[in-house]
């Protein structure tokens, strides 16, 4: 083999090796940035589905099942593609919901706050994703989660604010519970004045009991 063909072979081999290195590096980067692959799971669609459910159920968001994930499943099997947890099988989730089964922590991809209503404090968080990834499955630059509230569909809460976010949510939930308890207390019926007979005859009014 002459010198020129040898150089050509070396160049071709170097190009191939370079492409393999680039491809490997890109694959590793993609795997790191998108640990479950790219899959669009829209927070806004889930928020809209929950609001539609509440409007059809007296203002109540789904609740009453064994776990929050199971309650969230009540929005319907047509939302399997939104409910599925990253890394779980969408087909398996669809089959579960078709059989009338409800999801659990391994198959549902959301942390859902059960027991809220359309008229709850709009600043109360309604749900956020479990993995802490973007809508298409990418890692977030500052960690944390995208959170959807009762009154708004989308907000990014970075890891630096996550502790204060949870603290505020605990406070808001306590206030919500207290408000519910006040509203659910039965109103004491108003007692009409009553009368007693006087020894000399006639009656006298007695103030109503308090």
The tokens describing 202, both together, are 């006639």
38 within domain boundaries: no
Cα separations in angstroms, 89 against 4, 29, 56, 108: 54, 24, 29, 10
The tokens describing 115, both together, are 């027991």
Q: What is the mean pLDDT of residues 169-183?
A: 92
- Give the span between the Cα atoms of 153 and 144, in whole angstroms: 16
104 within domain boundaries: yes
51 within domain boundaries: yes
> Looking at the 3D structure of the chain, how many domains does it have?
1
- Give the span between the Cα atoms of 89 and 114, in whole angstroms: 24
Confidence band of 1 (pLDDT split at 50, 70, 90)? low
Q: Which domain holds residue 124?
A: 43-183
Tell me if 127 sits within 8 A of 111, measured CB to CB. yes
85-115, pLDDT tens digit by residue? 999 999 999 999 999 999 999 999 999 999 9
122 within domain boundaries: yes
Residue 8 is predicted with a pLDDT of 66
Kindly tell me if the per-residue pLDDT of 33 is higher than 90.
no
Residue 25 is predicted with a pLDDT of 44
171 within domain boundaries: yes
Kindly tell me if the per-residue pLDDT of 200 is higher than 60.
no
Is the model's pTM score more than 0.85? no
- Give the span between the Cα atoms of 206 and 183, in whole angstroms: 31
194 within domain boundaries: no
154 within domain boundaries: yes
Tell me if 111 sits within 8 A of 128, measured CB to CB. yes
116 within domain boundaries: yes
Cα separations in angstroms, 169 against 133, 189, 201: 21, 36, 65
Cite the beta strand spans of the chain per DSSP E: 110-112, 125-129, 145-149, 155-157, 194-197, 203-206
């Amino acid at each position: 083999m002459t010198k020129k063909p040898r150089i050509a072979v070396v160049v071709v081999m170097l190009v191939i090796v370079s492409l393999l290195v680039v491809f490997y590096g890109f694959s590793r980067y993609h795997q790191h940035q998108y640990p479950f692959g790219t899959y669009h799971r829209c927070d806004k669609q889930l928020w809209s589905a929950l609001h539609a459910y509440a409007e059809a159920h007296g203002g109540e968001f789904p609740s009453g099942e064994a776990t929050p994930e199971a309650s969230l499943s009540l929005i319907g099997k047509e939302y399997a593609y939104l409910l599925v947890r990253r890394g779980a099988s969408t087909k398996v989730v669809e089959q579960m919901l078709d059989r009338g089964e409800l999801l659990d922590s391994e198959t549902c991809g959301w942390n859902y706050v059960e027991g809220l209503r359309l008229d709850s404090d709009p600043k109360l968080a309604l749900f956020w994703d479990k993995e802490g990834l973007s809508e298409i499955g990418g890692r977030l630059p500052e960690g944390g989660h995208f959170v959807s509230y009762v009154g708004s569909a989308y907000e990014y809460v970075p890891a630096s604010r996550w502790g204060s976010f949870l603290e505020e949510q605990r406070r808001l939930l306590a206030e919500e519970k207290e408000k519910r308890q006040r509203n659910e207390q039965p109103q004491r019926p108003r007692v009409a004045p009553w009368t007693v007979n006087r020894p000399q005859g006639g009656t006298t009014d007695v103030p109503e009991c308090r």
